[in-house]
Chains A and B, each alone.
Chain A
Amino acid sequence: MTFQWSSVKEFVPLLLPGAIVTVKLTSISVLAGIILGTIFGIMRLSRTPLRYLAAAYIDFIRGTPLMVQIFMVFYGINALIEGTLDPFPAALIALSINSGAYVAEIVRAGIQSIEKGQREAALSLGLSNSATMFYVILPQAFKRIIPPLGNEFIALLKDSSLVSVISVNELTRYADTTAGRTFRFFEVWFSAAIIYLILTVTISRIVILLEKCLKVDE
């Protein structure tokens, strides 16, 4: 069987519903990851015992394979609750928790990159620690960490293909079933690759635009 461009054109539309699930899954997980990551990134830098909790979370997630985390969440939650948890929410939870750990490290580095004088100026004006963090440090840190956050988004989008193992009907699983049905393995997987590539390139373009927009004032 020879490679046929025409069948790539045929398969890309077939895979689109899966691509939409992938985009949804990744976008929501990245947003949740940013929230989790901000909380744990700040905890990691705090002088309270909470920083050990944050360190444990970050080390555990970064030190274990995502696939193992996905299975743990899927089977773990299903064992805890009555009834069954659908694959999609399980995947969302697993990816969010995973992303949160990586974002926490990005946020920590971002906060640490802000000049000491900013915090001192805010404190010297009588602002509380939390007001200083919220109004002075974080807005500057976030501006600075947009590029690594974009990279995290892209990495997560690619890694989200792993949730196909718990039967979430995202792009990779769509490709898998389509390939099995049509026996045009290479064309199907090539089509899936094209879609992933378009998505990741789009994200990196958006990140560059965002960076430019936010630079105007500084």
Chain B
Amino acid sequence: MAIIEVQDLHKKFKNLHVLKGITTTIEQGEVVVIIGPSGSGKSTFLRCLNFLELPTSGEIRFAGDLITPDNLQVVRREMGMVFQSFNLFPHMKVIDNITLAPRLARKMEPEEAKSQAYELLTQVGLSEKADVYPNQLSGGQQQRVAIARALAMRPQVMLFDEPTSALDPEMIGEVLDVMKSLAADGMTMVVVTHEMGFAREVSDRVVFMDDGLLVEENMPDQLFSNPQHPRTQSFLSKVL
């Protein structure tokens, strides 16, 4: 079953045409990795999916419903997002970072939100960090908290925008491990990343994006070993 359907999505920033007509479907439970050169529009595409960027034209459907500025807040609750720069709330303890949205946007009881937060912290391996402030954590730990924070809304889809790009190499693994176990649990995920190992190992489909278009997509083995499009070939030859 399709959970996200994108139809002829365009995005312009003033005169800059960044997304030039994207049509694709994300299936329930699917893990899609998006790769592509810098500036090709990967982040913009991801941010259009939850309307952090307003599409210039085109349609996005979530679970069959057209996303509009009116139902947007409801849809965002179903789509967690993890950012390259973590974006934890620095003035709140880890536990409050995680419970804020469930309490406000899901009207969850404080007690329930808290016990859920402890469960999620355990899941990402940080059960002892509930009462510290984000700046007391390493980058990898912060990103794992950010994942827990997004999961606390019990989203149906998780969007990741280069979740490991800001991390020191020794911390990348711990974040990827959390993402792998999420995928194993059946979470629908759209991941922009340069981690080709992760794409190969975890994803159901890899999409190569260039110059605002989805140029080629295939199962990871196929795409990596036998790219069809010359631009995919040239990109892969540089990164693999």
Which residues of A pack against B, CB within 8 Å?
A: 115, 117-118, 120-128, 131, 135-136, 139-140, 143, 217-218
Answer whether A125 and B76 are a contact pair too, CB < 8 Å, given A131-B104, A135-B104, A218-B135: yes
Docked complex Cα distance between A135 and B104 (Å): 10
* B50 & A124 in contact (Cβ 8 Å cutoff): yes
B113 to chain A, nearest CB (A): 13
Answer whether A136 and B89 are a contact pair too, CB < 8 Å, given A121-B83, A125-B153, A126-B73: yes
* B74 & A124 in contact (Cβ 8 Å cutoff): no
Instruction: Name 11 extra pairs, CB < 8 A, besides A125-B100, A135-B100.
Output: A118-B87, A120-B83, A121-B87, A121-B146, A124-B79, A125-B105, A126-B105, A127-B104, A136-B89, A139-B91, A140-B89
Question: Hey, which chain A residues are within 8 Å of B105, CB to CB?
Answer: 125-128, 131
Closest 4 pairs between A and B when the two form their complex, measured CB to CB: A126-B77, A125-B101, A121-B87, A117-B87
Docked complex Cα distance between A170 and B87 (Å): 48
Question: Hey, which chain A residues are within 8 Å of B88, CB to CB?
Answer: 121
0/1 string, B61-89, CB within 8 A of A gives 1: 00000000000011011011101010111
Question: Hey, which chain A residues are within 8 Å of B85, CB to CB?
Answer: 115, 117
Docked complex Cα distance between A131 and B104 (Å): 8
Question: Hey, which chain A residues are within 8 Å of B235, CB to CB?
Answer: none
Q: B132 — nearest CB in chain A belongs to which residue?
A: A217
Docked complex Cα distance between A122 and B73 (Å): 11
* B100 & A217 in contact (Cβ 8 Å cutoff): no
A130 to chain B, nearest CB (A): 10
